[in-house]
Structure 1
Amino acid sequence: MTALTLSTSSAAALRADAVVVGVTKGPKGPQVAPGAEAVDKAFDGKLAAVLETLGASGADGEVTKLPAPAGLKAPLVIAVGLGDAPEDGAGFDAEALRRAAGAAARALSGAKKAAFALPAAEAADLEAVATGALLGAYAFTAYQADSGKSTLGEVAVTGAKPRDKAHKAAAARAAAVGAEVNRARDLINTPPNDLNPKAFATAVQAAGKEHGLKVEVLDEKALTKGGYGGILGVGQGSATPPRLVRVAYTHAKATRTLAFVGKGITYDSGGISLKPPGHNETMKCDMSGAAAVFAAVVATAKLGLEVNVTGWLALAENMPGGNAIRPGDVLKMYSGKTVEVLNTDAEGRLVLGDALARASEEAPDAIVDVATLTGAMVLALGEGRFGIMSNDDGFRTRIHTAALAAGEDSWPMPLPKELRKTFDSPTADIANMGVRPGGGLIAGLFLKEFVGEGITWAHLDIAGPAFHEGAPFGYTPKGGTGTAVRTLVSLAHQAADGNLL
């Protein structure tokens, strides 16, 4: 795991494998960003001119490597683009800083230590730089003996004030969030033959012991006794039984309680409604919601936030075994509602329905569920952002604002009442499918059926950004992204400060 340190030393004086500086797009060519003055001085004030000669422009995420001149302790300089220079008096955009730091960290894979001399005079900027660097340094190498990939050992942010309360808090947030997003990524990237519901639950139990969390695991016997028909139904086609995991962090002074609910389908074949060729290969990522919830609870504990947070992980493997549920079957959910299964590949809403109903029994101040739920949401919003639905428009807006501030693109979506009737069933209380148009919204309306009366609730459909199949960029790797962890932690912060509800 990449370490984070704050350094008062000049970027020129710090011993490291490389020093990272920022470059902006100026009206007459690249300009050296604040924080790199000592490095620019080592180039006799001509760093921008050298970079322009090498073809650098300062474009967002652009990385240029050049040997360090005499006067620097580091042998290498990494110049990373920050995009357009901010207007006079305006600060740097936090996401631009995160992405630049992430791009530089990826370029330094395998290095022992790098000094980041990006604009970080303010605590918010420091947090953005540190978070981006820690996320960009990520590499998943557990199954590659000779991959040649390794993480950057240490990120040292220069120009910081280690004794300043705001800077220390910013660094603590970056370290906790960075580590937990990367924990979620590791879980998502783990092959499904090694991460089944039982193994996932075991990982939560281990983290619970380490961080003082209360963990309860309901196995197939407990689920049967409790009447969790949705989770059991989805999992009954697999040789590996399902689990419902409750992981809770409590603070003695907390006055607010949040419940986070995560979809944890450790592999989704589609069941009897088998997915077509080309859609199975990445389905280990269908537990991304549960990974995000788990990681967010751990991050909240690490930060000691004055809020109670309970995570519910609905874990199952959706397989087409001889005992699998069939289209036409009726399941009795934990809430007592019956659901006619019209499509076994609409399984996420079934496991979440049980978990939402169970979470509601504890009467939290708000529930937020996270799920790679529908392809329809990807079609609506693309792969780079998640949809937000809620039974409270104000709460939905606050989540949207928190997500954008944390660097996670999202968009508020409606829950049209007229779509509710489309999943009426002649056989059961409701069906698990409605009409195809607005499929992501119908899934949200389905989940709403299982939220306790009077409880504020929101649903995050992260199907688009949860797993990145393209080339890495900024701090985003190929594979699991850890989407929603930062948003959930931000919500916990706001609840602790009394600003969320």
Structure 2
Amino acid sequence: MTALTLSTSSAASLRADAVVVGVAKGPKGLVVASGAEAVDQAFDGKLAATLETLGAAGGEGEVTKLPAPAGVKAAVVLAVGLGEAPADGGGHAAETLRRAAGVAARTLAGAKKAAFALPVSGAQDTEAVATGALLGAYVFTSYRGGKEKASGAVKEPLAEIAVLGGKPRDKAFKAAAERAVTVAEEVNRARDLINIPSNDLFPKSFAETVQAAAKEHGLKVEVLDEKALTKGGYGGIMGVGQGSANPPRLVKVAYTAGRNKPHLAFIGKGITYDSGGISLKPAGHNETMKCDMSGAAAVFAAVVAAARLGLDANVTGWLALAENMPSGTATRPGDVLRMYSGKTVEVLNTDAEGRLVLADAITRAGEEKPDAIIDVATLTGAMVLALGDRTFGVMANDDAFRTAIHEAAGEVGEASWPMPLPAELRKGLDSPIADMANMGERMGGGLTAGIFLKEFVAEGITWAHLDIAGPAFHEGAPYGYTPKGGTGSSVRTLVRLAELAAAGELF
């Protein structure tokens, strides 16, 4: 993991491979953002003019490199665009700082140390820059080696980040830096899990990974294997996992702050590989299906983060882990499963498997009567069609709770959008032989999936469903602090919700 330090040194005096400065679009052209005054002075006040000559315009995500002049101890000046300069002379939004820092950290992969002289006016800005830089520095190299790695074609992450303007002895700044490190490390933990191929990450190995982390962070873990799941009547999880040589697991991982504390239950869809089962996915849709456990990865990472931050709330994670494969033992379309709740479900499509494992976990989590249940899943392609690749949908049985989640996500820089649960779509889940079917009408499929899950929420429990199918796995070019591959989507939102619960501001 990239190291983080805070420094009160000027941007010109700190020794580093590169110094990162911010530039923005002003009313009369490019302007140098605060924090970079010493570097601008080294350019005789002509840094903006020099950058404009090189084609810089200050747009978000824009990066321009140039040699550092005499008077700057770093070898390179890296100017990163911040977009429009604040009209009122105020500061830049936290997400703008996160993304700019992320772009810079990605650009500087392979370097030993970089000084970030972006505009920082307080501890919150420091945290934003630190978080963005640490997330942007992420590189997954576990499966890269040999000549390619030795030649330098595969670059290691930026080794050290120094955030200038941060006060290392100030309690607020120290806390901000510590939170940034914890949250970024846990997002990156989720990213690592998502990026691991399915031949190495399957239900049993995922459960073992959780057990190892639990020992390190003082968490309690309970793992139900296929025998316990069968005996316990977890028909949804077993129905999905019975076609695979790698049997399913239900993992409970819990951080306990104490009695009478707010209690959040997070539930993650953990399909470690999704072939679609007997309802096999078409060619071209299988290659990235190792990412179908992104919800479970996010939940696991969020619980660890809550423990590391010492939050004053109880946070329990439920990871519904299975591998959805076609075989002679696989569930067939038309089969009926008896769920943990006792309800029966006719399986019309074995590729609508995530809702089946989640339903069992939701019922089990409800038995502990938490204050709220939030499930997280790469659940439907319909949600991607509705909201695109960068925004997750939020559904809930309580409008105020749905709004709180949407606002928390926005606060930490994760794009989300409130979605409804139209009552008229429930009829589409009717089955002629079972209590319900696992598929409904094609139109509004993402909403129907949420309605299905709602059927398994115990009376009186506040519940929300996050469909992260779009942003969980990024197949395009990296942007901001978002890498190619697993993104760790929703980890920061879950952590923020746990913080709000601990502060008595969520319920």
The two structures have a TM-score, normalised by structure 1, of 0.99
The Cα offsets for residues 33-65 of structure 1, whole Å up to 9 and x where unpaired, read as 011111111111111111111110110010000
Deviation of 1:91 after TM superposition, in Å, equals: 2.0
The equivalent residue for 1:119 is: 119
The equivalent residue for 1:30 is: 30
Alignment of 1:70 with 2:74, yes or no, is no
Aligned match for 1:368, one of 362, 369, 374: 374
Alignment of 1:465 with 2:471, yes or no, is yes
The residue type equivalent to 1:383 in the other structure is D
The Cα offsets for residues 247-275 of structure 1, whole Å up to 9 and x where unpaired, read as 00111376200000000000000000000
Give the unaligned 5+ runs of structure 2.
Answer: none
Alignment of 1:449 with 2:455, yes or no, is yes
Mean alpha-carbon deviation: is it higher for 6-15 or for 194-203?
Answer: 6-15
Q: Distance in 1 between matches of 2:67 and 2:429?
A: 63
In the comparison of the two structures, how many residue pairs are matched? 501
Deviation of 1:83 after TM superposition, in Å, equals: 0.2
Deviation of 1:124 after TM superposition, in Å, equals: 1.4
Q: Aligned ranges for residues 145-294 of structure 1 at < 5 Å? A: 145=145, 146-147=148-149, 148-252=154-258, 255-294=261-300
Q: Aligned ranges for residues 82-93 of structure 1 at < 5 Å? A: 82-93=82-93
For residue 367 of structure 1, give the secondary structure of its aligned residue in structure 2. strand
The equivalent residue for 2:313 is: 307
Q: Distance in 1 between matches of 2:383 and 2:258?
A: 39
The Cα offsets for residues 145-171 of structure 1, whole Å up to 9 and x where unpaired, read as 024221011111011111222211211
Q: CA RMSD in A?
A: 0.9
The equivalent residue for 1:417 is: 423
- Deviation beyond 3 Å, 4+ runs, structure 1: none
The Cα offsets for residues 199-245 of structure 1, whole Å up to 9 and x where unpaired, read as 11011011101111111111111111111110001000000000000
For residue 157 of structure 1, give the secondary structure of its aligned residue in structure 2. strand
Contact conserved, 2:8 with 2:167, CA < 8 A, in 1?
A: yes
The residue type equivalent to 1:433 in the other structure is M
Identical columns (%): 78
Contact conserved, 1:254 with 1:308, CA < 8 A, in 2?
A: no
Contact conserved, 1:326 with 1:341, CA < 8 A, in 2?
A: yes
Deviation of 1:289 after TM superposition, in Å, equals: 0.2
Deviation of 1:366 after TM superposition, in Å, equals: 0.4
The Cα offsets for residues 269-302 of structure 1, whole Å up to 9 and x where unpaired, read as 0000000001000000000000000001111111
Mean alpha-carbon deviation: is it higher for 280-289 or for 11-20?
Answer: 11-20
Deviation of 1:358 after TM superposition, in Å, equals: 0.4
For residue 384 of structure 1, give the secondary structure of its aligned residue in structure 2. coil
For residue 15 of structure 2, give the secondary structure of its aligned residue in structure 1. coil
Q: Distance in 2 between matches of 1:367 and 1:314?
A: 14
Task: Label 1:165 to 1:253 Cα distance change in 2 as closer, same or farther (>3 A).
Answer: farther
The equivalent residue for 2:108 is: 108
The equivalent residue for 1:4 is: 4
Q: Aligned ranges for residues 388-399 of structure 1 at < 5 Å? A: 388-399=394-405
For residue 308 of structure 2, give the secondary structure of its aligned residue in structure 1. helix
For residue 477 of structure 1, give the secondary structure of its aligned residue in structure 2. coil
Deviation of 1:6 after TM superposition, in Å, equals: 0.8
Deviation of 1:173 after TM superposition, in Å, equals: 1.3
The Cα offsets for residues 336-395 of structure 1, whole Å up to 9 and x where unpaired, read as 111000000000000000000000000000010000000000011111100000000000
Mean alpha-carbon deviation: is it higher for 303-312 or for 42-51?
Answer: 42-51
Q: Distance in 2 between matches of 1:66 and 1:383?
A: 34
Contact conserved, 1:388 with 1:459, CA < 8 A, in 2?
A: yes
For residue 247 of structure 2, give the secondary structure of its aligned residue in structure 1. coil
The equivalent residue for 1:354 is: 360
For residue 319 of structure 2, give the secondary structure of its aligned residue in structure 1. strand
Aligned match for 1:317, one of 296, 316, 323: 323
The residue type equivalent to 2:65 in the other structure is K
For residue 286 of structure 1, give the secondary structure of its aligned residue in structure 2. helix
For residue 315 of structure 2, give the secondary structure of its aligned residue in structure 1. strand
Contact conserved, 2:126 with 2:165, CA < 8 A, in 1?
A: no
For residue 173 of structure 1, give the secondary structure of its aligned residue in structure 2. helix
Q: Distance in 2 between matches of 1:493 and 1:39?
A: 38
For residue 464 of structure 2, give the secondary structure of its aligned residue in structure 1. strand
Contact conserved, 1:24 with 1:84, CA < 8 A, in 2?
A: yes
Aligned match for 2:390, one of 374, 381, 384: 384
Deviation of 1:93 after TM superposition, in Å, equals: 1.0
For residue 374 of structure 2, give the secondary structure of its aligned residue in structure 1. strand
The residue type equivalent to 2:318 in the other structure is W
For residue 267 of structure 2, give the secondary structure of its aligned residue in structure 1. strand
Alignment of 1:483 with 2:467, yes or no, is no
The equivalent residue for 2:334 is: 328
The equivalent residue for 2:135 is: 135
Aligned match for 1:402, one of 397, 400, 408: 408
Q: Distance in 2 between matches of 1:84 and 1:383?
A: 25
Contact conserved, 2:91 with 2:119, CA < 8 A, in 1?
A: no
Alignment of 1:42 with 2:42, yes or no, is yes
The two structures have a TM-score, normalised by structure 2, of 0.98
Give the unaligned 5+ runs of structure 1.
Answer: none
Contact conserved, 2:409 with 2:493, CA < 8 A, in 1?
A: yes
Task: Label 1:423 to 1:161 Cα distance change in 2 as closer, same or farther (>3 A).
Answer: same
The equivalent residue for 2:436 is: 430
